[in-house]
Amino acid sequence: MHQAHDGHEHGGHAAASWGAAARATLHCLTGCALGEILGMVVGTALSWHNAPTMVLAVVLAFVFGYALTLRGVLGSALGLRTAVRVALAADTLSIAVMELIDNGVIALIPGALDAALSEALFWWTLALSLALAFVVTTPVNRWMISRGKGHAVAHRYH
């Protein structure tokens, strides 16, 4: 079971541990990675240009990220509308930060946007970008959880 609120009280909310923040970020990373990889694979396989491929990858990252949270909170007898609101509140900022870092890193590495699926550059750039996105997003999630926001919202329903 996740512990969204580890530690002492601060400003009405418990301080979030780095472990809780890392678990929340790993949850987002899973959805983002699934969406990113699927989007990049589909766009590349269909010989799409960079912009539509990245848009597809980002959209799918949000879809998979929200879907993972929905899967967890729908088991708590919430209606679909409420579960969607919980997923949006839990994941939007985390996924947005992760996608900004992930796609920014890919865009900054020379040749990464044009790399084919069969090239090592494609895969190591994707791995590096997701790792950096995890490192940058973890403190964001810790800050949100400590204020009762982000994944702290979803944990109320697990």
pLDDT means per 10 residues, the chain with 158 residues, are 41 70 91 92 90 94 93 83 89 94 94 90 94 96 88 67
According to the model, what pLDDT value does residue 1 have? 41
Q: Give the angle 6-1-70 at the CA atoms, nearest 5°.
A: 105
Q: What is the pTM of this model?
A: 0.83
Q: Going along the chain, which residue ranges are E strands? A: 9-10, 13-14
CA distances (Å), 154 to each of 121, 147, 149, in order? Answer: 36, 13, 9
